[in-house]
Amino acid sequence: MKKFTGLYVSLSIIVKNHTTSPRPVIVDLGCGPGLLSLEILRRIPDATVIGLDPLNKMLSLAKKNVHQVSIERFEPLLGVSEKIPLKDASIDTIVSRFSLAYWKHPDRGFFEMHRVLKPGGNIVFEALNRDFPRWKLFCIKMGMILNHAGQDVIKYHVDAYDLAYTMEHVEMFFKNAGFVILKKEGKKSEWKFIIIAAN
Ligand SMILES: C[S@@+](CC[C@H](N)C(=O)[O-])C[C@H]1O[C@@H](n2cnc3c(N)ncnc32)[C@H](O)[C@@H]1O
C-alpha cells in the first residue's frame, strides 16, 4: 500500500480543507495501517487523530506507521463503525477510506457517525464504486495474476467490489442518517468515489 502514498496525500488535503477547528479532533474510521492518519498528522500540525479499527493488528501497525510524525497526537481505538466508542458531538471531522465494504450494518455506521460528529462537522468519505465496470475489474484481476499477486491481495483489492456500494446507495445512507451532502466526486466508470457531507 505504501506505493500509493499519493492517494493518501490527496485525501488528507481534502480533509484539511474541510476541517475548520484550529485544534481538530479527527476520526479515521477503519484506519487500517494508519497511512491516511499519518498524512493528516503531517498536514494539520495541531490535529489529534483517533484511528478506529476492529483489528488490533491494524492498530499496532498504525501506531508504528504514524510514529515517524507524532505518536502523541494519534489515539488508536478498538471498535467498529456500527458502535463507535466515543461521546455524542465530540468529533470535529470524520474521514473514512475504503472501509465501508466491510461494515456488517452500514446504516448503523452512518447513524453512529452522525451521533459523534459535532454540529457543523464534516465527513470525507471515500469508497469503492460498485458501478465500476466488471470488464475493467476482470482486466485488473488478470494483471494481478500475471504479476504474481497473492490470492489474499487479489481478494482484498478486486473481490471487495462484490461488497461495495454505488454512489447513490451511499448518498442514501448519508441522507437517512440526517447528513447534508456537500460535494460528490467520481463517475460510474471510475473505481472509487468521494462524498463530502455535513451534519
Ligand atoms: C481496505 S482497509 C482500508 C484501511 C485504510 N482506511 C486505508 O485506506 O489504508 C479496510 C479497513 O476497515 C476495517 N474494518 C472492517 N470492518 C470494520 C467496521 N465494521 N468498522 C470499522 N472498520 C472496519 C478493516 O479492519 C480494515 O482495516
32 C-beta closer than 6 A to ligand 1: yes
The answer to whether 163 and 85 are in contact (CB under 8 A) is no
- CA 82 to ligand 1 centroid distance, Å: 12
Where do the H-state alpha helices sit in 32-150? 35-43, 56-66, 106-116, 134-146
Domains and CATH numbers, the chain: 2-129+164-198 (3.40.50.150)
Cα 81 to Cα 74: distance, rounded to the nearest angstrom: 18
Q: Tens digits of per-residue pLDDT, 39-91?
A: 999 999 999 999 999 999 999 999 999 998 888 999 999 999 999 999 999 99
- CA 19 to ligand 1 centroid distance, Å: 22
Cα 128 to Cα 141: distance, rounded to the nearest angstrom: 15
Instruction: Please tell me the pTM assigned to this model.
Output: 0.93
pLDDT under 70: residue ranges of the chain: 1-4
Pocket probe for ligand 1: among 38, 63, 99, the residue whose CB has the most ligand atoms within 8 Å is 99
